[in-house]
Amino acid sequence: MAITTSNNNFSAQTIENKKINYKPALALLISLFFMWGFITCLNDILIPHLKALFNMNYTMTMLIQFTFFGAYFVMSLPAGRIVGKIGYKKGIILGLSITGIGALLFFPASTFISYGMFLGGFFVLASGITVLQVAANPYVVVLGSPETASSRLNLTQAFNSLGTTVAPIFGSMLILANNVENITEKAATVQLPYFAIAATLFLIAVIFVFAKLPIIKEQKKDNMSGSAWQYRHLVLGAIAIFVYVGAEVSIGSFMINFFSQDYIASLSETDAAKYVALYWGGAMLGRFFGAVSMSDINSNKKNIYTFLIAIFSFLLAWYITAQINLAAIFFIFVILNIVAVKIGKNKANKTLAVFAIAALGLVILTVLLKGEFAMWTLVAVGLFNSIMFPTIFTLSINGLGKHTSQGSGILVMAIVGGALIPLIMGGLADTIGLHSSFLITIVCYAYIVYFGLKGYKNVNQLTD
C-alpha cells in the first residue's frame, strides 16, 4: 500500500542546495518506501500464523490490523509536530529507529508467547512508519522540478509495492514453511525475520546519519481563515481513503485463510502466500501501467512501455506461481487492467471510477462463486487497487489552496480504515462465514465508484 503524506505544520516547503545531485537522496528515500511496504504486507503472513498459534477467531485475529493501522490515526498529528521541531532528516532517523525497536519487540513477544506483546510490537512498528512517512514524502516532492513531482511519487510508490510483493514470499519461507508442532518453536519462527528487519532498519538509519540530504525550509504561513473541512470533496475523499485502505487491507488479511478453504482451493498456507504476493504484485503492476498512461510521453513510447510491463507481469506471475498456465491466467487480468487504463483516457476521476467498477465486479464474482475461479477473481483485485490511493489523494486536495496541508493531514488520518474495516470483516467472518464476509468490501468499492463519478468535484470552487 502506497501512502502520500504531508506535514500539517507547514503550508509549503522549499529546498536549499539546489545544485546538489538528487539521485543518491532519492535512492535512499526509495529504500524507506520499500521497507515500510515490506513490513506492512508481512502482517498478512503473521495473521494466519498467530491465529493458529493462539487458536483465535477471526475477530481477535483482526486486532493485528486494528492495532497496526490504528497507530496511523493516533500518531499522525504527534509525528507531524515532532518532525516540525527536529527536521525531516532527523525525523527519518527517528522513524527508522522506532520501527527497528518495534521489530525487536517480537523477540519478547515470541519468547513469552504473549498476544498482547505482539500487538504492542505492531503498534510501535506502525508508529515508526508514521513518522517515516511524515518525514520522507516532502523530500520526494522537492527532489527536482514541481512538474515531475508526480512521476517521482509514482516511482517511490512502485517500490513500496515491490516491498508488498516480496514480503509474502519472504514470510512464507521463513515463517509459514516451518512445520513445527511445538508451540514454543512455532512462536520462535518470527524471530529471525524480524531481527533481519530490525538490523536493516538500523543500518539504513546509520546511513542517513552520514548522508548529505537537501535541506527543506518551511515557509511561514499567512494568517489563514476557514478550514479544509469546509470543502465537501475533501471530506468525501477522506471517506474514500478510509474505505479503500480498509478494503485493500481486509482482502490481503483474509486471503491465506480463504484460499485454504476446501471449497476454494485447499491450498497450504505456504502456497496461499504466493497468491498474496501476486495480489500485492498486481498493485505494483497496475501502478506502473497507470504511471505510463498518465505521463506526458508520446503515444509510441507509451505503447512500448506498456508492452514491456505486460511481459514483465507474465514473467513475475510465472516466477511466483512456478507454473506457466497459472501465469497465463493472471495475464488475462493484466490485459483487462490495460483495457481499463485505456477506458480512463488519462482522466484521473474517470480512471478511478473504471478501476473501482472493475474491483467491485471482481469481488462480487468472488462472493458468488467457489473454487479456483473465486481465488483468481480475488487476486486480480490487486491490479485495480493500484492507482486508487494516489488518485483519490490528488482529487481530494485539488483546489484547497492554503488549506492543502490541513487537508493532507485529514486524508492521512483516514488510513484508520485499515484498522476498523478488517475488524468488522472479522466479526462478519465469525457470524456469517468467511466467504460472505467479503460483502463489506463490495460496499467500499461501490463508494469509490461514486467518488470517482461525482464526489470528487470541488463544489466550493465551482460556486466561487
Which pLDDT tens digits describe the chain residue by residue (464 residues)?
A: 544 444 444 334 555 545 556 677 888 888 999 999 999 999 999 999 999 999 999 999 999 999 999 998 999 888 888 887 888 889 999 999 999 999 999 999 999 999 999 999 999 999 999 888 878 876 676 676 665 555 576 677 778 888 999 999 888 888 887 777 789 999 999 999 999 999 999 999 999 999 887 766 555 554 556 788 999 999 999 999 999 999 999 999 999 999 999 999 999 988 999 999 999 999 999 888 877 876 667 889 989 999 999 999 999 999 999 999 999 999 999 999 999 988 987 788 999 999 999 999 999 999 999 999 999 999 999 999 988 988 898 888 888 877 776 787 788 889 999 999 999 999 999 999 999 999 999 999 999 999 999 999 988 765 54
* Number of helices (H), then strands (E), in the chain: 20, 2
Place domain 19-216 in its CATH homologous superfamily: MFS general substrate transporter like domains (1.20.1250.20)
Rounded to the nearest 10 degrees, what angle do helices 269-293 and 324-344 cross at? 30
Can you tell me the distance from the alpha carbon of 359 to that of 441, in angstroms, rounded to the nearest whole number? 9
CA atoms within 13 A on the CB side of 295: 21
User: Three-class SS of residue 272?
Assistant: helix
Do residues 317 and 331 lie in contact, with contact meaning Cβ atoms separated by under 8 Å? yes
Do residues 155 and 2 lie in contact, with contact meaning Cβ atoms separated by under 8 Å? no
b/e string for 178-216 if b means 16 or more Cβ within 10 A? eeeeeeeebbbbbbebbeebbebbbebbeebeeeebbeb
Q: Which residues contact 458 (CB under 8 A, 6 or more apart)?
A: 231, 233, 398, 399
pLDDT of 279? 96
Can you tell me the distance from the alpha carbon of 178 to that of 52, in angstroms, rounded to the nearest whole number? 13
Other beta carbons less than 10 A from residue 158's beta carbon: 21
Do residues 396 and 240 lie in contact, with contact meaning Cβ atoms separated by under 8 Å? yes
Can you tell me the distance from the alpha carbon of 421 to that of 119, in angstroms, rounded to the nearest whole number? 17
Q: What is the grid cell recorded at 436?
A: 460472505
Can you tell me the distance from the alpha carbon of 30 to that of 462, in angstroms, rounded to the nearest whole number? 38
CA atoms within 13 A on the CB side of 392: 35
Distance of CA 443 to CAs 54, 78, 251, Å? 31, 32, 13
Of 282, 260, 407, which is closest to residue 337 (Cα–Cα)? 282
Can you tell me the distance from the alpha carbon of 50 to that of 48, in angstroms, rounded to the nearest whole number? 6
**Phi, psi angle pair for 7, to nearest 5°:** -70, 125
The radius of gyration computed from the CA coordinates of the chain, to the nearest angstrom, equals 21
Residue whose C-alpha cell reads 514480503 in the numeric block: 167
pLDDT of 97? 97
Question: Which runs of E-coded beta strand occur in 68-220?
Answer: 216-218
Same fold, 19-216 and 227-464: yes
The one-letter amino acid code at 10 reads: F
Write down the domain spans for the chain: 19-216, 227-464
pLDDT of 394? 81
CATH of 227-464, one of 3.40.50.300, 2.60.40.10, 1.20.1250.20, 1.10.10.10: 1.20.1250.20
User: Three-class SS of residue 218?
Assistant: strand
